[in-house]
Amino acid sequence: MLTLDAQLLIPKHVSFTLVEQDAILLNTRTNKYYALDEVGARLWGLLNEGKQLKDAYQMLLDEYEVKPARLEKDLLELIDHLVENGLVEVAEG
Amino acid sequence: MSFCRISGQEIHFPFFVPELTFLGSRNTPQAKAGISFSSQELTLSRRATGWVAGAQRRVETWFARSGILLKVSGGCNVYIALGGQDLIPLKAGRPKKIITGRDREILLGPALVLALALRGTWCLHASAAMIGERLTVFLGESGAGKSTLAAYLVNNKASRWALVADDILPVTVSRKGLLAWPRFPQLKLPAQQQPGTSLPESLPVSRICVLVDDVGRAKPELKSIPSLQAAQVLLNHTAGTRLFDPGLLTDHLAFCAQAAKKAPMYQLPYTRQKAALPAIKQALERPC
């Protein structure tokens, strides 16, 4: 079960580009593209800078008007989806 | 050797290619292009199946330090120098001496698309036409009517439209905007109808219209597409991406994100009914 304490890694085979506020991710192994909305793009930017998921969550909570429980649910759902598609890896231990 | 300036890029071939005569292909005394790889150093990068030279064929790209080997089932292999400047059809690892029509379709199809991509020029699956200095690019699924619409605009009586591309349109981004490079062999057209003959080497793209099936709508109206969706459309309508290695895919992604901001993109409801074409033409001629 994924939690905000998970240690996430962005694999080398994933590319990312911003399109205005949004973003597109590319898994170069599968040639598949994934769109991220503004909040997802911001989360990705933070993870890409090396921030831990918990810290990124805290920063997003400060930046957007959203209830903590809702943000946590949305982030974990998004991370689940990213993991499923090989765009993020959860570090062991 | 012969060389030809295709879509702003000088490309060398080991022989004269008749399909490129309209671009001023000419022989050059330059030394033979070298093929410098051994079969041991080749690594398979991509494998895909697609429509090439009149049939569904398996296409593979193999990478070496000096270049890419494109292998097409039922056709010749083509060596592409890593800078995209040399295209050499091979047989049993040596330059092929007798070239068939199918070999030339492979050479001027996936091999040329890959060579241009290596030089930062991306080929859209598109038709395109211009009126005055306004160039409109038409994108859409295969069979959506891109060619039919461009042909209608151009062949209509007293038409002021000129054809720019029918199938493939090479493009780049510049500080000024999205640029089209129409001097490219359109394999669907005979030599005397190649649009690149009479056009400047590059043209600014005024807008991109995506044809969407819309049977029965009375008034076709252009609807603006936001940048994220526009970038996704460009990703999906670029030729040859299934042959790109991770580095090229990453460069291509960056290109599409930039291009989406450089040229406005619109959805164009389109029906293949002949009676609807005049209204579509009118919508396209209206100022944006």
Residue-wise DSSP of B197-246: GGS-S-EE--EEEEEEE-TT-SS---EE--HHHHHHHHHHTBTTGGG--H
Q: Which residue has the tokens 């040329």?
A: B112
Determine contact: A30 vs chain B, CB below 8 A. Answer: no
pLDDT at A42: 96
- Name the residue of chain A whose CA is nearest to B259's CA: A19
Under 8 Å between Cβ of B169 and B128: yes
CB contact under 8 A, B235 and A24: yes
CB contact under 8 A, B228 and A24: yes
Under 8 Å between Cβ of A89 and A83: yes
- Name the residue of chain A whose CA is nearest to B249's CA: A28
- Lowest-pLDDT choice from A57-66, A71-80, B12-21, B172-181: B12-21
- The secondary element (H helix, E strand) that includes residue B266 is strand B265-270
Which has more confidence, B196 or A56?
A: A56
Q: Bridge-partner residues for B95, per DSSP?
A: B90
pLDDT at B186: 94
**CA-to-CA separations, B45 to B24, B71, B140, B288, in angstroms, rounded:** 34, 11, 28, 43
CA distance B235 to B107: 23
Count the neighbouring beta carbons within 10 Å of the beta carbon of residue B58.
13
**Closest of B113, B59, B114, B58 to residue B82, by C-alpha:** B114
Under 8 Å between Cβ of B7 and B184: yes
- Name the residue of chain A whose CA is nearest to B46's CA: A29
Mean pLDDT of A13-30: 95
- The secondary element (H helix, E strand) that includes residue B138 is strand B134-139
Would the pLDDT of A83 be above 90? yes
CA distance B116 to B92: 25
CA distance A60 to A54: 10
pLDDT at B220: 83
- The secondary element (H helix, E strand) that includes residue A78 is helix A68-84
Residue B250 is nearest to which of A15, A22, A35, comparing CB atoms? A15
ipTM of the complex model: 0.88
CA distance B132 to B126: 20
Would the pLDDT of A93 be above 70? no
pLDDT at B157: 77
Mean pLDDT of A24-46: 95
Check residue B253 and report its DSSP letter.
Answer: H
State in Å, rounded, how far the first CA of chain B is from the last one: 47
CA distance B143 to B158: 27
CA distance B101 to A30: 33
**CA-to-CA separations, A14 to A33, A88, B249, B263, in angstroms, rounded:** 10, 8, 10, 27
CB contact under 8 A, A17 and B235: no
3-class state of residue B106 by DSSP:
helix
Q: Which residue has the tokens 């598609």?
A: A85
Task: Give B49's contacts in chain A (Cβ within 8 Å).
Answer: none
Query: How far is the alpha carbon of B249 from chain A, nearest alpha carbon, in Å?
Result: 7
Would you give per-residue pLDDT tens digits along chain B (288 residues)? 788 999 999 999 888 888 888 888 777 665 555 666 677 788 999 999 988 988 999 999 999 888 999 999 999 999 999 889 999 999 887 888 788 889 999 999 999 999 999 999 999 999 999 999 999 999 999 888 999 999 999 997 788 999 999 999 999 999 989 999 999 999 989 888 899 888 999 999 999 999 998 766 667 889 999 999 999 999 999 999 999 999 999 999 999 999 999 999 999 998 878 888 888 999 999 876
Mean pLDDT of A65-73: 96
Check residue B186 and report its DSSP letter.
Answer: -
CA distance B5 to B51: 26
Under 8 Å between Cβ of B215 and B144: no
CB contact under 8 A, B257 and A31: no
Which pairs with CB-CB distance under 8 Å and at least 24 residues apart come from B191-196?
Answer: B191/B18, B191/B19, B191/B21, B191/B22, B193/B163, B194/B22, B195/B162, B195/B163, B195/B164, B195/B165, B195/B166, B196/B22, B196/B23
Tokens found for residue B252: 């291509």
Under 8 Å between Cβ of B240 and B168: no
Task: Give A22's contacts in chain B (Cβ within 8 Å).
Answer: 227-228
